[in-house]
Amino acid sequence: MKQVKCASNMRSISLNFQFFAEGNSEAGRGDSEQLGRSRFRVNDFQESLYGIDEFWDLGDRTSGQLSSRSDLMLCSAGPAQLTKRSGHPCGRDSLTPAADVTLAVNMRLHRAVVEFGGMSLLSPVSATNVRTGILNHPYVPLVIDVDGAQAVERGLDPFYIAPPRTGSDDPYADGRYWSPSTRHGGGVNVAFVGGHVLSSKDPASEGWNWGYEANVGR
């Protein structure tokens, strides 16, 4: 039942993403409004789901609780609550404890790989955006079950996740950003841009569109 509920929540997240990407979200796009209708930043979408930063939804209160009973970004098979704080973008200052984060966004939509001086580097967040055309690529993974505690042990934020790709030699290649949770009977739930949710015991090896990356620059 928990796996079914988690999959249902993740399907809702994917549908919300489609509205957000098209510019039809009721809450707007936050800071991404400055990029025009055809581009946005995936961290703004993530903040809209949590109701934090420019999407703060608790009025004058400076903090509040997220619950797995009612909030899409908390898997029902993981920790039951997160505390959120106002005035901060998505990160450890806005959501605590970070080890209890249960769902992560595909990091390749947050930071693409760029070549600079003969080296492969992760693009700055401020220079990275996603184009609305991503909706034409339904098998791009969007949200994935994450092991928040494992990510924190590595000194990383558990809000973003991406596997290494076979044959690639880039900042993702060593697998340090890959910490999926197998909390669903050994399976990992993955929601896609197309609105569907699949489960796999080895999601990194699936023939999904892991290679799709965000745009850098204009």
Tokens in use for 33?
A: 């409004």
List Cβ neighbours of 192 (8 Å cut-off, separation of 6 or more): 14, 138, 139, 140, 141, 142, 198, 208
Q: How many domains does the chain have?
A: 1
Q: Is 192 left (phi over 0), alpha (psi -120 to 50) or beta?
A: beta
Does the residue 210 lie in any domain?
A: no
CB atoms within 10 A of CB 62: 10
User: Using an 8 Å Cβ cutoff, are 3 and 181 in contact?
Assistant: no
pTM of the predicted model over 0.85: yes
Does the residue 217 lie in any domain?
A: no
Round to whole Å and give the CA distance between 214 and 107: 9
User: Using an 8 Å Cβ cutoff, are 81 and 74 in contact?
Assistant: yes
Does the residue 214 lie in any domain?
A: no
Mean pLDDT of the region 179-183: 96
Burial (Cβ within 10 Å: 0-12, 13-18, ≥19) of residue 10: buried
The range of the structural domain enclosing residue 192 comes to: 2-205
Tokens in use for 99?
A: 């080890």
Q: Which amino acid is at 16?
A: N
Does the residue 82 lie in any domain?
A: yes
Q: Which amino acid is at 114?
A: V
Place of tokens 């079914």: 4
Task: Give the tens place of pLDDT for each residue, 147-164.
Answer: 999 999 999 999 999 999
Task: Give the tens place of pLDDT for each residue, 56-97.
Answer: 999 999 999 999 989 999 998 898 899 999 999 999 999 999
Does the residue 138 lie in any domain?
A: yes
Does the residue 212 lie in any domain?
A: no
